[in-house]
Structure 1
């Protein structure tokens, strides 16, 4: 079973592996059923999806109809204005077959102009606050990709007491001094304020570029069991963070198995050797 810890100040005990339901974007109903059975086997109790993840919300809905109480359910909106974001929210509620979202997140809020719109008058933040008053949303979070995600999350947390953040966190990203500096500041602030920290791209190997990629990820993932184990355990070695699982259901069992084992510190020397062996490179520079 996957260990659990408090998800920030929400009071919810979440499994340290959060199911990244982008992996359900283009799968069949049968594959979805098999995936939920696998999640149940490992005791996963937290799902993270988004409006933009293809069929993901619709695949999750039939399961939520019968198992809603078993999961902390998170989704996201790409919209930056109040009116459009509320349309997204109601569509998510319908597709997910639920009357509330546990965590509603502003998806990839890293562009300054979009941030200004989202946080300003008539922005998505107003939508989230209104939805929270109505009981449609319990908690509010912000997510981000790219080099400036930690920096923008710091800015967001100074503007509003978000309940969670999500950003890329793996060994290769943290070898970049500028990124590491901002990520370290973000982690410290989240620790101080009780903000839940979600991480993505734990098993990223490198960008696809001109190589074949047979997985349902926009990047090339690690796919050897030992490499996945070491990368997952490196992330979970930071006792502050949660790990959002990989966006391919065929790699998911390896991530879950790695997280269910005793978490042992993975040395920099081990990770440096992996970089050499697998040609690992940061996804964002």
Structure 2
């Protein structure tokens, strides 16, 4: 497993971040088996959210004895200060910890929601207050969809967030406008030493009717060789961290791929993979 400084936080993070959305509908026993897998592969960074079902509840028991082993991140989808602070209180209780390493304003893309969150009495004020009180160490912003990088650039004009998170995979980057927005965001993050997290590395596209296979809300790659190419496509960009997919059954293949020497797939290889797997952009 490769490790890299997570922006300006001082945390030397595993390049793969465990995406604990995979714990939204599992048992504690399944979660605890996953802990063993994470430790075996040297994963030292967990990303969850208050909105991920029972995820925080499953991670919480680990923190009793292993809090110092993980950089722990969660998120709030609330847009007002009062609501966000209440959700943070719940998150800390569920995770059985006194503080988060990273607290993120979740899915902050919609223009109207952005105005509320960034305005007077908004979630950003909650985040700043929580940081001042020592409840969180660093702050971030996340987003889905083709407008996420552009929204993050706007957010970074208002506040100097420590981390961003957005979708990054080969099919999405075939969209010229999206690719340009991603390039601009990566440039700003490099200049300001902001950590860059990516999601949806394994996305094949939306599910076809009655064909849901994984716990993920989207269809995902399952072939081990295909997963390796998708993982290496992301990790070959040394600026990026890869948040694992929201299904624990996909995690072993992701970790196995990340443990190998990272080899950047060629354009021809990725185009062949798209054709072979019937991959489609998840967001348009």
TM > 0.5 between the two?
yes
User: Which residue of the partner structure matches residue 112 of structure 1?
Assistant: 111
User: Which residue of the partner structure matches residue 235 of structure 1?
Assistant: 234
Alpha-carbon distance in 1 for matches of 2:88, 2:208 = 34
Gaps of 5+ in 1: none
User: Which residue of the partner structure matches residue 161 of structure 1?
Assistant: 160
Distance apart, 1:211 and its partner CA: 4.6
Distance apart, 1:139 and its partner CA: 0.3
Alignment of 1:127 with 2:126, yes or no, is yes
Distance apart, 1:61 and its partner CA: 0.4
The C-alpha deviation readout for 1:53-81, integer Å capped at 9, x for no partner, is 00000000001111000000000000000
Please identify runs of 4+ aligned residues in structure 1 that moved more than 2 A: none
The C-alpha deviation readout for 1:200-253, integer Å capped at 9, x for no partner, is 000111111315122100000000000000000010010000000010000100
Partner SS, residue 138 of structure 1: strand
Partner SS, residue 92 of structure 1: helix
Alpha-carbon distance in 2 for matches of 1:277, 1:131 = 47
User: Which residue of the partner structure matches residue 41 of structure 1?
Assistant: 40
Partner SS, residue 181 of structure 2: helix
User: Which residue of the partner structure matches residue 15 of structure 2?
Assistant: 16
Partner SS, residue 205 of structure 1: strand
Alignment of 1:199 with 2:198, yes or no, is yes
Over the aligned positions, Cα root-mean-square deviation in angstroms equals: 0.6
Partner SS, residue 60 of structure 2: helix
TM-score, scaled to structure 2:
0.99
Alpha-carbon distance in 2 for matches of 1:215, 1:186 = 31
User: Which residue of the partner structure matches residue 54 of structure 2?
Assistant: 55
Moved more, 208-217 or 178-187: 208-217
Alignment of 1:145 with 2:162, yes or no, is no
Count matched residues: 284
Alpha-carbon distance in 2 for matches of 1:40, 1:17 = 12
The C-alpha deviation readout for 1:78-134, integer Å capped at 9, x for no partner, is 000000000000000000000000000000000011111111100011101111111
Partner SS, residue 10 of structure 1: coil
User: Which residue of the partner structure matches residue 265 of structure 1?
Assistant: 264
TM-score, scaled to structure 1:
0.99
Distance apart, 1:265 and its partner CA: 1.4
The C-alpha deviation readout for 1:175-196, integer Å capped at 9, x for no partner, is 1101000001000110000000
Moved more, 228-237 or 205-214: 205-214
The C-alpha deviation readout for 1:18-66, integer Å capped at 9, x for no partner, is 0000001100111001000000000100000000000000000001111
Alpha-carbon distance in 2 for matches of 1:277, 1:129 = 47
Gaps of 5+ in 2: none
Partner SS, residue 216 of structure 2: coil
Partner SS, residue 18 of structure 1: strand
Partner SS, residue 247 of structure 2: coil
User: Which residue of the partner structure matches residue 67 of structure 2?
Assistant: 68
User: Which residue of the partner structure matches residue 85 of structure 1?
Assistant: 84
User: Which residue of the partner structure matches residue 281 of structure 1?
Assistant: 280
